Amino acid sequence: MPLSHTARFARRATLCLALVTLTCSLFACGGAQVEDAAWAPGPAISGLNMNGRWYSRDFGDMELLQDGIKVSGKYEHPRGPEHNGTVRGELVGDLLKVEWIQPGDASAAVFPIKGRAIFRVARDGMSLDGVWGYDDDYRQGGVWQAQKSKQDQ
């Protein structure tokens, strides 16, 4: 007995949904997730103090403020003040997960952008080794590393 138009449509919709689900699971859709083992949180660092000045070759001087597991701050981008930005996020074990925002400057034709970054905090609390991406993705942008100022140890 031939399938009705509605039954054929339902079958096709189910197959399409299954294909999309499979594709997303294979190619890591939903960029906010960092699933690989390299970014599994390690144990929290006892006595960690993120407060102070940090330097990143790629993103310039950063000033971070820690309140419990919450971390916020700002950075002065080497490309100029229209590229400066803010970060806010939280510590998860030895990881710092943040959202970054560069508000841009319309007078300089620099559009606002935002994204996410994830850092592994060194056990001595003196360096960050991470990756960043745009919007909800943590990895498509590149490497982001920073070292804490020796004056803020």
- Beta strand 127-134 with 113-121 is antiparallel
Tell whether 138 and 64 lie within a shared domain: yes
Q: 94 and 115 in contact (C-beta within 8 Å)?
A: no
* Per-residue pLDDT at 151: 79
pLDDT at 48: 97
Regarding whether 22 and 93 lie in a shared domain, the answer is: no
Q: What is the pLDDT of residue 25?
A: 39
Do 100 and 25 belong together in one domain? no
List per-residue pLDDT tens for the chain, 153 residues long: 565 655 554 455 444 444 434 334 334 444 444 557 889 999 999 999 999 999 999 899 999 999 999 999 999 999 989 999 999 999 999 999 999 999 999 998 999 999 999 999 999 999 999 999 999 998 889 999 999 998 766
Q: What pTM did the predictor assign? A: 0.75
Same domain, 25 and 54: no
Tally the domains of the chain. 2
Give the domain CATH number at 118: 2.40.128.120
Whether 102 and 122 map to the same domain: the answer is yes
Report residue 116 as tokens. Answer: 């996410």
Asked if 19 and 85 sit in the same domain, the reply is: no
Query: Are 58 and 104 part of one and the same domain?
Result: yes
pLDDT of 11 reads 53
Question: Looking at the structure, do residues 18 and 42 belong to the same domain, yes or no?
Answer: no
Is 105 within 8 Å of 17 (Cβ atoms)?
A: no
Q: Are residues 44 and 90 in the same domain?
A: yes
Residues 14 and 61 in one domain: no
The residue segments making up the domain with residue 23 are 1-30
